[in-house]
Chain A
Amino acid sequence: MTAAAAFFYLFASITVASGFMVIASRNPVASVLFLILAFVNAAGLFVLMGAEFLAMILVVVYVGAVAVLFLFVVMMLDVDFAELRQGFQQYLPVGALIGAIFLVELLLVVGSWSIDPGLVQAPLGNVASAENLTNAQALGRVIYTDYAYFFQLAGLILLVAMIGAIVLTLRDRPGVKRQNIAVQNARTQAMAVETRKVPSRQGVEV
């Protein structure tokens, strides 16, 4: 067994196990931590495939931002998870029925679909191109040429998200003290400091 295969089985089994623990764990904080573990191991799988850019993005975006956001929400909101599970027994039959229908549909689809034998023979194939480009270079080449349109559209969508967040949440609150750096910098010694003679045993008016 080569080292790559050994690492594949290591990462894959930890991903599956921690994926299971995400839903099995009783403590929501532990669930999120297992989710992070699953993400990190999935990133390891990407590295094995030669998709180092995806691996780093997975760590930065999902572990660094999304999972931490989950963690914050779970810790800051006082969600009673025991209460949320109250209806579990009640909804179980319906849920199981829908789940079974989807399972049958998926099996039918998979049954009607054969995997290309070329793919089966190279399960750990390297996705990097023959030109020896790094992932980031290969992505950069298409993202600013063939996919420039999509890239710009995605930018507009983010702009809408930003405007939307401001429109719906920003409120003018009267009486809030704000730092005004220009005024601070423009202060001279004469404006800030006052020198007074203090007569003995009398003090001064402040």
Chain B
Amino acid sequence: MTTVHSVLPSLAPLLPELILGVGVLLLILYGAWRGDRSAETVSIGALALLLVALSVVISQPVHGRITTLSGAFVSDSFSKVMKSLVLLGSAATILLAHDFFKRERIDRFEFPVLIVLCTIGMMVMVSANDLIALYLGLELQSLAAYVIAAFHRDDIKSTEAGLKYFVLGALSSGMLLYGASLIYGFTGTVSFPGIVSALNANAGLGIVLGIVFVAAGVCFKMSAVPFHMWTPDVYEGSPTPVTAFFATAPKMAAVSMTVRVFIGALPDVTAVWQQIFIFVSVVSMALGSFAAIGQSSIKRLMAYSSIANIGYALIGLACGSEEGISGLVTYMIIYLAMTLGSFAIILSLRRRNVMFEKIEDLSGLSRTHPWLAFCLAAMMFSLAGIPPLAGFFAKFYVFAAAIKAGLVTLAVIGVVTSVVGAYYYLRVVRIMYFDEPKEPYEAMAPGLRVVLALSSVVVVLFFLLPGPLVGAAGRAARSLF
């Protein structure tokens, strides 16, 4: 009877997750008690919870790596930065969604609740230090995501998006799990440090097979080519704030999960997985750039744009070096700002209670809404990677890391595809500034204004003060090596 643990594990690093977990249970109780009239209060409550968790994450002191809960949970600079991004993405989603759902008459209290539960899953993924925690976090995140994709349940496209996402997501979870079981079978442990020491820098065929399956699973979650097929349909079908959510917070979590697995558990067998990510990165950049050219829906355009952006970000991972990861984290920070800003503008294209989602609906926006057009132009120039906007620096850091790691071809392909991508981003700008104006749209909701203002500031003024963000990314990368 001596093996029974009488001591509670240290829960201090887990504080943000605990706050969200306890808070969301209270919100569910309140919502169930008050019914659908509580949607507004629960939204505000969820937003407050996310902001409290964000401030706790930011203010928590970081002393190297702290692991707790039998080594399943790790807290370090990397988890601090990525959790902040996840929480920002989720909080922005609630701000973006509130007005939209109210006007579509689907404002139910379950939406903010599911967003918070999804956020807990994402934070578990970011802090995962073994395969079981990773999988459980992933499932918690995905299951909530399937439901909110189909949240507009009377809309056939939304239902289709939810079903498609669910079926393909279950398949990819199966692949990830199969790969994880192979890795467990051949190393005898699920903990990442355990896997590092069990492998001892040589990977047998079984491990390689496991790595391939795990890579397929995570690539699906990041929507990287060749596992991207669900992305355009799900992004187009889901309610637009949900699309904004999918393009931001879960991407951050999926990328951190990938970094945790491949840098955290398989750092000594880089040669095995590096080729996978070089390939995935090249085809994602190429497909994302070329397939976006023919799109007429803004949401589908953003879907292909997110595929291409994941390709650029994965260049950082393919380097396998500290500079690479630092570039990757910087890229994700700037990508979050650019995407949230773009979606805040897409969500404000509303006239007489009808949403407009075609690129041609933007025509002449510069004359009807000069500020909106200016912000969207900044986002598009930034996504295209034109200096001095933030998107240029994002690409610059990953390309520089690739050249330093000797992957010059990869960097060159990246530059070429960003030129191709610039074509469709600039087409949006041309339509806004040079086409005939249409009727003006309604005024923006306050939530959208907040998100747009913050992200525009980051995108436009990043070059004045890149220090804090790049410094945080550098610290995050250093904590992994």
Contact = CB atoms under 8 A, between A and B. Distances in A.
A157 B3 CA distance: 29
Contacts of A113: 186, 204-206
A141 B140 contact: no
Nearest to B5: A145
A20 interface: no
Interface string B87-125: 000000000000000000000101001100100110010
A145 B8 CA distance: 8
B114 A156 contact: no
B72 A109 contact: no
Nearest to A147: B70
Interface string B150-183: 1101000000001000000000000000000000
A160 B206 contact: no
A166 B205 CA distance: 45
Contacts of B206: 109, 112-113
For this complex, into which size category does the number of interface residues on chain A fall?
20 to 34
A153 interface: yes
Contacts of B28: 159, 163
B21 interface: yes
Nearest to A156: B140
A164 B144 contact: yes
Interface string A152-191: 1110110111011011100000000000000000000000
A159 B144 CA distance: 10
Interface stretch (B131-139, B272-280, B281-289): B131-139
Contact of B140 (A109, A112, A146, A157): A157
B464 interface: no
B113 A163 contact: yes
B70 A146 contact: yes
Interface of A is mostly: helix
Given A141-B4, A149-B70, A159 B205 contact: no
B397 interface: no
B153 A164 contact: no
A153 B3 contact: no
A72 B139 CA distance: 27
Contact of A153 (B124, B144, B153): B124
Interface string B13-35: 00000000100000010000000
B108 A145 contact: no
A112 B144 CA distance: 40
A206 interface: no
B143 interface: yes
A146 B140 CA distance: 20
A94 interface: no
B4 A157 contact: no
B205 A112 contact: yes
B245 interface: no
Nearest to A153: B136
Given A163-B114, A168-B153, A146 B5 contact: yes
B3 A161 contact: no
A167 B31 CA distance: 12
B369 to A, nearest CB: 35
B150 A150 contact: no
A128 interface: no
A163 to B, nearest CB: 6
Interface string B380-406: 000000000000000000000000000
B137 A153 contact: yes
Contacts of A146: 5, 70
B147 interface: yes
B157 to A, nearest CB: 15
Interface in B255-291: none
Nearest to B139: A157
A4 interface: no
B114 A150 contact: no
B146 interface: yes
A108 B205 contact: yes
A154 B143 CA distance: 12
A148 interface: yes
Nearest to A161: B143
A166 to B, nearest CB: 7
Contacts of B209: 105, 109
Contacts of A145: 4-5
Interface centre among A112, A147, A152, A167 (most CB of B within 10 A): A167
Contact of B147 (A105, A150, A152, A163): A163
Nearest to B108: A167
Contacts of B110: 163, 166-167
Given A141-B3, A145-B5, A146-B70, A153 B140 contact: yes
6 contacts: A109-B205, A145-B5, A156-B117, A160-B144, A163-B113, A168-B150
Which are the 4 A-B pairs with shortest beta-carbon distances? Answer: A164-B147, A153-B136, A149-B69, A112-B205
Interface of A: 105, 108-109, 112-113, 141, 145-150, 152-154, 156-157, 159-161, 163-164, 166-168
Given A149-B70, A164-B143, 17 more contacts: A109-B206, A112-B205, A113-B206, A146-B5, A149-B72, A150-B132, A153-B124, A156-B117, A157-B139, A157-B143, A159-B117, A160-B114, A160-B143, A163-B28, A163-B147, A164-B114, A167-B147
